[in-house]
Amino acid sequence: MIPISQIKYKGHIIDMLRLDIAFPDVQGNKYFKLKYNLEEAKKLSLNTLLTFGGAFSNHIHATAAAGEKYQFKTIGIIRGEDDIQNPTLQFVRKAGMELVFVSREQYKNKYETTFLKTLEEKYGPYYLIPEGGTNNFAVKGCSEILSGIENKYDQIFCATGTGGTLAGLISTPGLVSKTTGISVLKGKDNVTDIINVLLQENGYSHNIAWNINTNYHFGGYAKFDPSLLKFIKQFENDYHIPLDPIYTGKTCYAVFDLIDKQLISSGEKICIIHTGGLQGWMGWNYRFAR
C-alpha cells in the first residue's frame, strides 16, 4: 500500500498519496510508467532501452535508474548540448546510461522512421520508450496508482506534463472521483487531445468527470517563480513534506488556491498525488541558485 500523508488547510483534511517515498529507486509516477514497458522489453528479448528527454529530465533520470536496477542497457537521446557539471547527467552516466546529444532541430524528428532507423543501425535493436515515458504501457501502469483507494475521494489532483499519469488515473477501474490534472506547461492545452487518444487506445469505457487546469503553470515548464518557491518552502515547514518546483509544488499551490477561492467545498474529500520528481531540485539549484 502506498503511504498517505494528511494535510490540514482551512478546515479541509487533504490526503496526499506519497509516490515520492513508495519507490525510492525509480521514484514516484515513473515507477508506474516504466513497469509494463520493462515487462514488454523483456518479453521481446530487448536488453536495451532507448528514450528521449532534456538534460534535467525526471524521465531520463528514472530510466537510467531502472536500467541499472533491472539490468538493461540504457541510451538517452538528449536535447541540446552536454554539460559535465549537470547533476542529472552526472547521475545517469554513473548509472550506466549512454548519452547522445542532438540539436534542438534534430530532436524535433525524434519519432521519424528514418531517425529511429539510424539509431538502430548504430546501437542495435532497442526498446523505444517515448519522451516522458507516456505510451499505452505507461497508462496501464498508472491505472494501478489508486488501487485500493479509488473510491475514497470526491476530487483527485495530479500534476500533468505529457498526460500519461493522468490518463492512467482516469482509467482506474471503477473510479468515480472527479480527476483534475494541473498542467505544468504554458500555452495552448494540447494534452487533453493526447489523453483522449490514450483513453481510446486503452479501451476506456467508464465515464468520470475530468479536466486539465492550465492556470497554475507559473510561466511554464521549469520556469523560475519566487511566489511558488515561497509556497513550497512554507509547505515543507508546515507539513514536513518536500515538494518539487516543476510538478507537485504547482499542484499543491493550485489546490490551496482553489480552497481559498471557495471552488472546493468544505465537505469534499480531496486527494493530491505526490508524483515524486524531487531529483529535479538538483538541476533546479544548479540552474538557478547561482
User: Is it the case that residue 189 has pLDDT exceeding 90?
Assistant: no
4-25+136-288: CATH class:
alpha beta
pLDDT value for 188: 75
- Domain 29-133 in the same topology as domain 4-25+136-288: yes
User: Is it the case that residue 198 has pLDDT exceeding 70?
Assistant: yes
Q: Where are the domains of the chain?
A: 4-25+136-288, 29-133
pLDDT value for 95: 97
The distance of Cα 58 from the centroid of its chain, to the nearest Å, equals 7
Q: Are 138 and 33 in contact (CB under 8 A)?
A: yes
Q: Assess if CATH 3.40.50.300 describes domain 29-133.
A: no
What are the backbone dihedrals phi and psi of residue 176, each rounded to the nearest 5 degrees, phi first? -120, -10
Predicted confidence band of residue 205 (pLDDT cuts 50, 70, 90) = confident
pLDDT value for 288: 85
Helices (H), 124-218: 136-142, 164-170, 191-201
Which residues are CB-contacts of 113 (< 8 A; sequence separation ≥ 6)?
A: none
- 176-192 average pLDDT score: 91
Q: Are 97 and 59 in contact (CB under 8 A)?
A: no
Q: 19 burial class (0-12, 13-18, 19+ CB within 10 angstroms)?
A: buried
Percentage above 90 pLDDT, the chain: 84
8, containing H or E segment = strand 4-9
- 201-227 average pLDDT score: 89
- 251-265 average pLDDT score: 97
Mean pLDDT, rounded, of the chain: 94
pLDDT value for 290: 54
